[in-house]
Amino acid sequence: MNTYAPSDLTFERGLGSWLFDDKGYKYLDFASGIAVNSVGHSHPHVVSAIQKQAAKLIHTSNLYNISQQKKLAKRLCDLSFADCVFFSNSGAEANEGAVKVARRYMFEKGKPERNVILCVDGCFHGRTISMLSATSKKENRTGFGPLPGGFRHIAFNDLNSLAEQFAAKDVAAIMIEPVLGEGGAKSISKEFFKKAQELANNNNCLVISDEVQTGIGRLGTLFGYEKTDLKPDIMAIAKGLGGGVPIGAVLASKKVAYAMKPGSHGSTFGGNPLVTASANAVLDIVAEKDFLKILGHKIDYLSKELDKIMNEYPKFVEEVRGQGFLRGLKLFDPVSEIQNELKKNKVLFVAAAENVLRLLPPLTVSIEEIDIAISALRKVACKGIK
């Protein structure tokens, strides 16, 4: 179907931070499959894990125990606040599952009227019918009504709006991204996170951290909530977890997960042997000793270089946004034009809302590769000024 803008690029293979097209040209990938290829392309450890598992067993369904799934679930719980995990196939499914857990928890507590999920203006939680209601961008919703209710939005970083929404007695949970990815790589304030957690506690509401894009090291910590005052009851992850294969997960504390009973949720493909083998291989890399420390040094380096570009080319960059390796440059020139110019220089970036150019390099990117991307940005900035 005609759901994607046509591209003039076809890639045949990838290696580390690089993609190679069908004409033999190579491109530095600062898009990472939209934050998916967390350890780069064709990482040997991930490739080996997939090959070994594919040769043994690819799929059985969740009618049976899956050893790779059990291993992955335990590791995710050990590395986070969670006690229980449900595996899905995508980020939108993970967010759907998170909402279901929150509403079912309130139902089991004898409060079925508490079914509203609060979201933040500018958020993006997916493209399923329910997640279109959760997502605030009107363009995503056009032509798909009637959309389901049960979602309300809080003005971005507005503490008064936050308090007003929590004052209603129908709130089940607040669902919040540590950094708004699709919404323009915007960081939510520390005060907003602190107040959101405080209000959730005071009103006996749940907190859902949407870490589909920010999880698995993207912000410099394994999960984005670790950089905030949030204490999630539920978390949705996907994208970077599988290193390229489709997998999502809903993580929850024992307190809320008990509400889910056999038959209350399910997935035919979710957490199958192949995808969980790949995800376990990704965790082998990202959770190993010193990986996040080394990543932190690279993040600091990128941050300094982006600040230099904004200072050197004030007519090119209006604002540097985001955290970790989820960064955004709010541009003066149309982002689509700048993106095309960068593509001509064989570097790939991703556009986001509010005329933002998003940088999503693999977590394994080198300092030398960061320099190549920065050099391309400088070259295009000079051309734009002239």
Nearest to 298 by CA among 379, 367, 360, 215: 367
Q: What is the mean pLDDT of the chain?
A: 96
CA nearest to 96, candidates 136, 148, 144, 58: 148
Q: Are residues 257 and 355 in the same domain?
A: no
pLDDT at 33: 97
Contact present, 187 and 224 (Cβ < 8 Å): no
In a domain, 231, yes or no: yes
Domain count, the chain: 2
Residue 35 lies in a domain: no
Which pLDDT band, with edges at 50, 70 and 90, does 139 fall under? confident
Note whether 331 and 241 are same-domain residues: no
In this predicted structure, what is the pLDDT of residue 383? 80
9 has a pLDDT exceeding 60: yes
**Final residue of a domain: which of 286, 321, 350?**
286
Are residues 74 and 170 located together in one domain of the fold? Answer: yes
Residue 39 has pLDDT above 70, yes or no: yes
185 vs 5: which has the higher pLDDT: 185
pLDDT reported for residue 136: 84
Is 38 inside a domain boundary? Answer: no
In a domain, 313, yes or no: yes
Task: Show which of 253, 270, 286 is a domain's final residue.
Answer: 286
Asked whether residue 36 is domain-assigned, the answer is no
* Residue 386, pLDDT score: 45
Last-in-domain residue among 286, 304, 327: 286
**Which pLDDT belongs to residue 384?**
63
Co-location of 249 and 111 in the same domain: yes
Statement: residue 205 has pLDDT above 70: yes
- Say yes or no: 309 and 278 in one domain: no
Q: For residues 154 and 160, what is the distance between their CA atoms, to the nearest angstrom?
A: 9
pLDDT digits (tens, 9 = 90+) for 299-352: 999 999 999 999 999 999 999 999 999 999 999 999 999 999 999 999 999 999
The predicted pLDDT at position 279 comes to: 98
Q: What is the pLDDT of residues 74-126, one digit of tens each?
A: 999 999 999 999 999 999 999 999 999 999 999 999 999 999 999 999 999 99
Give me the percent of the chain exceeding a pLDDT of 70: 99
Give the integer Cα–Cα distance in Å for 127 and 323: 24
